[in-house]
Amino acid sequence: MAILAKLFTAMRGAATEAGEAVVDNQALRILDQEMRDADKELNEAKAQLVEVMAQKRGVEREIEKLRGQVSEHEAYAMKALDKGDESLASDVAERIAEFEEELGLQEQALAQYDSGVNQLKRSIKATERNIAAMRRQVSMVKATERVQKASSAANARFSGSNTAMSSATESLERIKRRQQQRADQAEAASQLAADSEGAGLEKRLRDAGIVSGERSGSAVLDRLRAKRDG
């Protein structure tokens, strides 16, 4: 029995862990649905507020009507008294009492409506603020989730020696070496061309007798004697 109880407990623990894993994996989707549910409930509360305010307006109209009837019948009673008709005045007074009793009930109902409407308005405003604050937090959570997923994917892709980043780096270095080799070849060719042009010019000058082709020891000695005597 003890073993069966432990197995049952282990199964419950595994089910709980599996459920928590599902919740964690679907956290943002669940959060979005909860926000939609909150919006729906808020809209329903607003609809109820509109209905209550309409009922309140109906009570206000009934109060206005009763007050008018009280005033009207008070005038009737005064006229009956002026004519000395006590019986008629008494009947009118009874009717006035009925109007005033109904008026009192309607005024109590209006006070309850006023209290209820004010409470609903405060609750709706508080809920709107809470939903707006939650929506901002949800946006930040989603942004953080995207950044973390992108960072995790980048780390997984570009970590290690045999990764795409490593391969890209090697390719880049090969391209740089090839470009440097081409630049060196172009510089050598340019230098060779310059040397060739200089050698050709010197040959043409020698052929024209403008410069001597060789320097002899006697010529050097003559130059030194001239420098000393001068």
Of the given ranges (42-56, 120-134, 142-156), which has the lowest mean pLDDT? 142-156
What would the pLDDT profile of 46-58 be if each residue is shown by its tens digit? 999 999 999 999 9
Look up the CATH number of the domain holding residue 52: 1.10.287
Q: What is the Cα–Cα distance from 163 to 156, expressed in whole angstroms?
A: 9
The mean per-residue pLDDT over the stretch 71-84 comes to 93
Interacting residues of 159 by C-beta distance below 8 A, sequence separation 6+: 165
Q: What is the Cα–Cα distance from 174 to 186, expressed in whole angstroms?
A: 18
Kindly state whether residue 201 falls inside one of the protein's structural domains. no
Tell how far CA 115 is from the center of its chain: 38
Kindly state whether residue 161 falls inside one of the protein's structural domains. no
The pair of structure tokens assigned to 15 is 């089910």
Interacting residues of 60 by C-beta distance below 8 A, sequence separation 6+: 110
Kindly state whether residue 35 falls inside one of the protein's structural domains. yes
Kindly state whether residue 224 falls inside one of the protein's structural domains. no
Check pLDDT > 80 for residue 124: yes
**For 84, which DSSP code?**
T
pTM value is: 0.52
Please, which pLDDT band fits residue 72 given cuts at 50, 70 and 90? very high
State the burial class of residue 193 (Cβ atoms within 10 Å of its Cβ: 0-12, 13-18, 19+).
Answer: exposed
Q: Containing domain of residue 89, as a range?
A: 27-152
Number of domains in the chain: 1
Q: What is the Cα–Cα distance from 87 to 89, expressed in whole angstroms?
A: 5
Q: What is the Cα–Cα distance from 43 to 57, expressed in whole angstroms?
A: 21
Kindly state whether residue 143 falls inside one of the protein's structural domains. yes
Kindly state whether residue 74 falls inside one of the protein's structural domains. yes
Q: What is the Cα–Cα distance from 99 to 107, expressed in whole angstroms?
A: 12
Residue pair 56/114 in contact by the 8 Å Cβ criterion: yes
Kindly state whether residue 108 falls inside one of the protein's structural domains. yes
Higher pLDDT pick, 88 / 155? 88
Of the given ranges (21-30, 76-85, 91-100), which has the lowest mean pLDDT? 21-30
Q: Which residue has the tokens 């409470």?
A: 119
Q: What is the Cα–Cα distance from 88 to 94, expressed in whole angstroms?
A: 10
Please, which pLDDT band fits residue 4 given cuts at 50, 70 and 90? low
Of the given ranges (65-79, 84-98, 111-125, 162-176), which has the lowest mean pLDDT? 162-176
Instruction: Round to the nearest angstrom and report the end-to-end CA distance of the chain.
Output: 130
Q: Which residue has the tokens 């509109």?
A: 50
Kindly state whether residue 44 falls inside one of the protein's structural domains. yes
